[in-house]
Amino acid sequence: MALEVETHTADNGITVVAATGRLDVAGAPMLKEAISEVVKNGPPRIVIDMEGVSFVDSTGLGSVISALKQIRGSQGELRLAAPNQQARVVLELTTLDRVFPYYATVEEALTGF
């Protein structure tokens, strides 16, 4: 399934970017585009909601690294929420779990952000 991305603002002003489908070489540009739109509007605090992401490949992971660079370049912060087992394996295998704090749920990611 191709990636679909929806963006909304939570009660505490955090932007939640919710992705659904495969975050792979075909889907990565959609996530990059969505993050770029958020960053245009000022210092961003973003949670990427991965609950609907069924599969992540290295290019998809690259789009998250790109997002992190854009967000930090704008004095913002990024958290990942609800990666599935496959996504967690990819994060751990690449040791990027040391770079991206990830949370079990969106609610946890929003708490204290």
Partner 1 sequence: MRGGHQQFEFRASFSDLAEGLDILHQSIDRLRQATGRPADDRPLMLFETALGEIGSNVLTHGRPRGTAEPIDYALWFDEGTVVASLTDSGSPVQDHLAREMPAHDREAGRGLAMARSLLDELGYERDGGMNRWRLVKRL
User: Which residues would be at the binding site for partner 1 (CB under 8 A)?
Assistant: 2, 22, 24-26, 55, 57-59, 61-63, 65-66, 69, 85-86, 89-90, 93-96, 98-99
Q: Which residue has the tokens 């929806």?
A: 6
Integer CA distances (angstroms), 41 to 24, 45, 69, 72, in order = 26, 11, 16, 14
When the beta carbons of 28 and 110 are compared against partner 1, the nearer one is 28
- For residue 12, the surrounding DSSP H or E stretch is none
30 CA to centre of own chain: 12
The dihedral of CA 109, 15, 63, 83: what is its sign? positive
Q: Smallest distance from the beta carbon of 55 to partner 1, in angstroms?
A: 7
When the beta carbons of 14 and 46 are compared against partner 1, the nearer one is 46
Q: Smallest distance from the beta carbon of 59 to partner 1, in angstroms?
A: 6
Residue 74 in tokens: 């704008």
Using alpha carbons only, give the angle 31, 112, 96 rounded to the nearest 5 degrees: 45
When the beta carbons of 24 and 49 are compared against partner 1, the nearer one is 24
When the beta carbons of 10 and 51 are compared against partner 1, the nearer one is 51
Q: Smallest distance from the beta carbon of 10 to partner 1, in angstroms?
A: 27
Q: Smallest distance from the beta carbon of 110 to partner 1, in angstroms?
A: 25
